A and B are shown apart, each in its own frame.
Chain A
Amino acid sequence: MKLRLIVDGRPVALEAPPMKRLLDLLRDDLGATGTKEGCGEGECGACAVLLDGELVNSCLVPVCQADGREIATVEGLAGSDGTLHPLQQAFWETGGAQCGICTPGMLMAAAALLARDPAPSESAIRTALAGNLCRCTGYVKIVEAVAVAARRMRRASPRRRAGARRGPVSRR
Chain B
Amino acid sequence: MPSVPPARTRPRGARAAERVVGRNVLRREGREKLTGQAIYVADLAVDDAWWGTTVRAPHARARILAIERDPGYDWSRAVVVLAADLERRGYANVAHLIHDDQPFLAASVVEHAEEPVALVAAPSREEAERAAAHLRIRYEPLEPLLDFEGSRASFASYAIDKGDLARGFAAAATVLEGVYRFGAQEHAYIEPNGMIAWPSRDGVRRVQGSMQCPFYVVHALARLFREPEAAIRVVQTTTGGGFGGKEEYPNLIAGHAALLADACGRPVRLLYDRAEDMAATTRRHPGRVRHRSGLDSDGRLLALEIDVRLDAGAYATLSPVVLSRAVLHAAGPYRCANVRITGTAVKTNTPPNGAFRGFGVPQVAFALERHLDRLAAAAALDPVELRRRNLLADGETTATGQAVADAGASRQALAAALSRSRWRSTRRAHAAYNRRHPTRRRGLGLACYFHGSGFTGNGEIRLGSVAAVELAPGGRVRVLASSTEMGQGTRTVFAQIVAETLGLPYERIETVDPDTAEVPDSGPTVASRTVAVVGRIVADAARELDRALAARVGRPPGRRWTVATFERAARRHLAAGGERRFEARFANPAGQRFDDRAYRGDAYATYAWAATVVEVEVDLVSFEVEVRRVVSAQDVGRAIHPRLAAGQLEGGLAQALGWGLFEEVVMREGRMVNAQLTNYVLPTAIETPPIELAILERPFAHGPFGAKGIGELPMDGGAPAAVNAVAAALGVDLTEIPATPERIAAAWFARPPQERGA
Question: Which A residues fall within an 8 A CB radius of B?
Answer: 27, 31-41, 43-44, 46, 73-75, 77-78, 84, 88, 91-95, 97-104, 107, 122, 125-127, 129-143
Q: List 15 A-B contacts (CB under 8 A).
A: A33-B42, A36-B191, A46-B190, A75-B35, A92-B30, A93-B24, A95-B646, A97-B34, A99-B33, A126-B686, A127-B685, A129-B685, A135-B682, A140-B646, A142-B685
* Contact yes or no, B653 A84, CB < 8 A: no
* Contact yes or no, A130 B34, CB < 8 A: no
Of B235-243, B664-672, B750-758, which binds chain A?
A: B235-243
A137-B36 contact given A84-B31, A95-B643, A100-B29, CB 8 Å threshold: no
A92-B27 contact given A31-B45, A101-B191, A135-B241, CB 8 Å threshold: yes
* Closest A-B pairs by Cβ, 4 of them: A34-B36, A101-B240, A100-B33, A99-B487
* Contact yes or no, B488 A127, CB < 8 A: no
- Provide the bound-state CA to CA distance between A40 and B37, in Å: 21
Closest A residue to B645 by CB, please name it.
A95
B188, CB-defined interface residue at 8 Å:
yes
* Contact yes or no, A99 B190, CB < 8 A: yes
B385, CB-defined interface residue at 8 Å:
no
- Provide the bound-state CA to CA distance between A28 and B626, in Å: 41
Which residue from B34, B45, B643, B651 sits with its C-beta under 8 Å from A100? B34
Within 8 A of A (CB), among B137-194: 187-192
A95-B27 contact given A33-B36, A88-B34, A100-B238, CB 8 Å threshold: yes
* Contact yes or no, B36 A135, CB < 8 A: no
Contacts of B677 in A (CB 8 A): 38-39, 41, 43-44, 133
A143-B191 contact given A98-B651, A138-B691, CB 8 Å threshold: no
Which residue from B35, B189, B643, B652 sits with its C-beta under 8 Å from A99? B189
Main secondary structure of the interface of B (DSSP, over half): loop
- Provide the bound-state CA to CA distance between A139 and B273, in Å: 24
* Contact yes or no, B241 A136, CB < 8 A: yes
Contacts of A137 in B (CB 8 A): 647, 650-651, 654
* Contact yes or no, A130 B686, CB < 8 A: yes
Closest A residue to B690 by CB, please name it.
A140
Contacts of B646 in A (CB 8 A): 95, 140-141
Closest A residue to B186 by CB, please name it.
A135
Contacts of A122 in B (CB 8 A): 690
* Contact yes or no, B653 A138, CB < 8 A: yes
* Contact yes or no, B190 A102, CB < 8 A: yes
B94, CB-defined interface residue at 8 Å:
no
A127-B686 contact given A95-B643, A99-B486, A101-B40, CB 8 Å threshold: yes
- Provide the bound-state CA to CA distance between A58 and B190, in Å: 16
* Contact yes or no, A37 B685, CB < 8 A: no
- Provide the bound-state CA to CA distance between A94 and B34, in Å: 12
Fill in one digit per residue for B380-404: 1 if any A CB lies within 8 Å of its CB, else 0: 0000000000000000000000000
A97-B33 contact given A33-B42, A36-B40, A138-B650, CB 8 Å threshold: yes
- Provide the bound-state CA to CA distance between A35 and B758, in Å: 50
Contacts of B192 in A (CB 8 A): 38
Contacts of B686 in A (CB 8 A): 126-127, 130
B26, CB-defined interface residue at 8 Å:
yes
Contacts of B486 in A (CB 8 A): 99
- Provide the bound-state CA to CA distance between A117 and B272, in Å: 38
Closest B residue to A100 by CB, please name it.
B33
Contacts of A40 in B (CB 8 A): 273-274
- Provide the bound-state CA to CA distance between A146 and B198, in Å: 42
Total number of B residues with any Cβ neighbor in A under 8 Å: 56
B644, CB-defined interface residue at 8 Å:
yes
Closest A residue to B43 by CB, please name it.
A33
B676, CB-defined interface residue at 8 Å:
yes
B563, CB-defined interface residue at 8 Å:
no
**Known contacts A95-B27, A140-B647, then 20 further A-B pairs from the complex at CB < 8 Å, ordered by chain A residue:** A32-B36, A33-B42, A34-B36, A36-B240, A46-B190, A92-B26, A93-B26, A98-B647, A100-B238, A101-B40, A101-B189, A107-B34, A126-B686, A130-B685, A131-B684, A134-B190, A135-B190, A138-B652, A138-B655, A138-B691
* Contact yes or no, A91 B647, CB < 8 A: no
B634, CB-defined interface residue at 8 Å:
no
Within 8 A of A (CB), among B186-215: 187-192
Closest B residue to A78 by CB, please name it.
B35
Most buried by B among A34, A101, A135: A135
Contacts of B189 in A (CB 8 A): 99, 101, 135
- Provide the bound-state CA to CA distance between A6 and B486, in Å: 33
- Provide the bound-state CA to CA distance between A122 and B685, in Å: 10
Contacts of A46 in B (CB 8 A): 190
Contacts of B690 in A (CB 8 A): 122, 140
* Contact yes or no, A100 B685, CB < 8 A: no
Fill in one digit per residue for B232-254: 1 if any A CB lies within 8 Å of its CB, else 0: 00000011111100000000000
Smallest CB separation, A153 vs chain B (Å): 16
Contacts of B40 in A (CB 8 A): 33, 36, 101
- Provide the bound-state CA to CA distance between A101 and B649, in Å: 19
Closest A residue to B187 by CB, please name it.
A135
A136-B42 contact given A34-B37, A77-B35, CB 8 Å threshold: no
Smallest CB separation, A114 vs chain B (Å): 15
Which residue from A75, A88, A95, A104 sits with its C-beta under 8 Å from B647? A95
- Provide the bound-state CA to CA distance between A116 and B35, in Å: 22
* Contact yes or no, A136 B647, CB < 8 A: yes
* Contact yes or no, B27 A135, CB < 8 A: no
Which residue from B36, B242, B650, B691 sits with its C-beta under 8 Å from A74? B36
B678, CB-defined interface residue at 8 Å:
yes
Contacts of B678 in A (CB 8 A): 41, 43
* Contact yes or no, B647 A141, CB < 8 A: yes
Contacts of B190 in A (CB 8 A): 36, 38, 44, 46, 99, 101-102, 133-135
- Provide the bound-state CA to CA distance between A137 and B655, in Å: 9
* Contact yes or no, B31 A92, CB < 8 A: yes
Contacts of A103 in B (CB 8 A): 33-34
Within 8 A of A (CB), among B11-38: 24, 26-27, 29-38
- Provide the bound-state CA to CA distance between A33 and B194, in Å: 15
Contacts of A136 in B (CB 8 A): 241, 487, 647, 651
- Provide the bound-state CA to CA distance between A31 and B34, in Å: 17
- Provide the bound-state CA to CA distance between A95 and B243, in Å: 18
Fill in one digit per residue for B633-664: 1 if any A CB lies within 8 Å of its CB, else 0: 00000000001101100111111000000000
- Provide the bound-state CA to CA distance between A102 and B682, in Å: 14
Closest B residue to A109 by CB, please name it.
B685
Smallest CB separation, B184 vs chain A (Å): 16
B688, CB-defined interface residue at 8 Å:
yes
* Contact yes or no, A130 B684, CB < 8 A: yes
Which residue from A39, A92, A129 sits with its C-beta under 8 Å from B34? A92
Smallest CB separation, B439 vs chain A (Å): 22
- Provide the bound-state CA to CA distance between A143 and B691, in Å: 12
Contacts of A142 in B (CB 8 A): 685
A100-B240 contact given A33-B43, A140-B650, CB 8 Å threshold: yes
- Provide the bound-state CA to CA distance between A130 and B37, in Å: 25
